[in-house]
Chain A
Amino acid sequence: MRIFLFIFLLATAPAWAGSLEPKLDIGKGGEHCVEDTRYMRLNHMRLIMHQRDETVHLGIRGSKYSLAGCVDCHASTRNNSVLGSNENFCQGCHAYAAVKIDCFECHSSKRRMPAAAASAEPAANTAASTNKGASTAAKSGTEVSK
């Protein structure tokens, strides 16, 4: 009996393995990322770690690599955030890899919005879903408009 179960699992392996992989909503994206996908998967944390020290200690801003830059491109089109569900860009992949993500305990997980867009955005966000990300996105929308 046990061997049948094993064979069954083996035969269906490609199907369930595929279902565990994160299905990410990669947001609006840009034309291309700051580096290629494979490099970013391996090294994104090193890039922003280096950049954060330059910004905090030396005051160098507007560099090619930045956490806010990641969020601007990859925030979900639904709740405007990289967090909220396992389909959101950062949370989804980190949940899959079982790596705790600390960035957003301090940093904003919401896309920076131009002041004009901010006034239109909150309504869309609250309508999208009732999860935590969406409700805070609505608040940050009003905050940006200051």
Chain B
Amino acid sequence: MSKVDINRRAFLGKTGVALGGLVIAPGLVLFDFAHAQQLPVRKPGEPASSAVRWGMLIDTTQCGSNCNECVSACSKENGWPEAKTPTDVQWIRKIEIKQVSTGRQVALPMMCQHCANPPCVDVCPTAASFKRADGIVLVDKHRCIGCRYCMMACPFKARSFVHEPVADHDSDMPRGQGTVESCTLCVHRLDRGVQPACVEACAKTGHRAMIFGDLNDPNSEIYLRIRSVTTTQLRADLGLNTGFSFVGL
């Protein structure tokens, strides 16, 4: 058992009992408040570890069709202006899908699915697209030449190209013209042990459609939920093994 796991257990012991969670059936916890706030933090100088795999579970039954809070939160946190035209930068977007035969509609947020076998990394000619040890798929903008092969390769249309010069830079999230970018799972927040901005915003609205955590940690909320309810990965036929799963698709 690694040190991180011990910390997590100690933390759970203290706060989990006090806060509890929303139990929808015996043994089936919908949302664990104890997990919502703080994630394990690495020691200074310690690189991201492959023992962790960050992932997200999106519960489409909880996602509000008119709610756009996750998108606004991402835009504010990472400093991209909200999209007005189809070519504008968009790290996360809300989509609505409808089953034609039954008329059933489902709303969900769509962003980088942080694949275990990411096609964007396969096609990148400069090795700018890469997967960090803890499963986060990123663009090293120092290496990106803006060729946009990764945008073509991504089955989820998750990546955007920055066409215009960027005026107001964010200290935490550098962005620049001529590079491709996408959801980073708020890597600058994760490295300080804070959840991604969209997850925090979603919890604040009360929808709680996004559950974030370590897919490798048997005590994590996301691990327990994926074990207990039916979840779907998008385009599972492509064998990408996405870090994101969906409930209610």
Contact = CB atoms under 8 A, between A and B. Distances in A.
Question: Do the two chains bind?
Answer: yes
Interface of A: 52-54, 56-63, 68, 104-110, 112, 136, 139-140, 143-144, 146
Given A59-B134, A105-B177, A108-B174, A139 B169 contact: no
A108 B48 contact: no
Contact of A136 (B42, B168, B177, B179): B168
A140 to B, nearest CB: 6
A56 B128 CA distance: 11
B167 to A, nearest CB: 6
A139 B167 CA distance: 10
Nearest to A58: B47
A140 B170 CA distance: 8
B191 A108 contact: no
Nearest to A54: B47
Contacts of B179: 106
Nearest to A107: B174
B176 A105 contact: yes
Interface size class, chain B: 20 to 34
A109 B176 CA distance: 13
Interface stretch (B111-119, B138-146, B220-228, B231-239): B138-146
A107 B169 contact: yes
Contact of B44 (A62, A109, A140): A62
Contact of B170 (A57, A105, A143): A143
10 nearest A-B residue pairs (beta carbon)? A106-B176, A58-B47, A59-B48, A108-B169, A106-B174, A108-B171, A107-B174, A105-B176, A112-B171, A61-B191
Given A60-B47, A106-B166, 4 more contacts: A106-B174, A110-B171, A112-B171, A146-B76
Contacts of A108: 169-171, 174
A109 B188 CA distance: 18
Interface string B21-32: 000000000000
B171 A68 contact: yes
A52 B142 contact: yes
B133 interface: yes
A109 to B, nearest CB: 7
11 contacts: A56-B138, A56-B142, A58-B47, A59-B187, A61-B188, A68-B171, A106-B141, A107-B171, A110-B169, A140-B168, A143-B79
Contacts of A139: 167-168
A5 B16 CA distance: 85
Contacts of B140: 56-57
Contacts of B167: 136, 139
A49 B130 CA distance: 18
B206 interface: no
Contacts of A140: 168-169
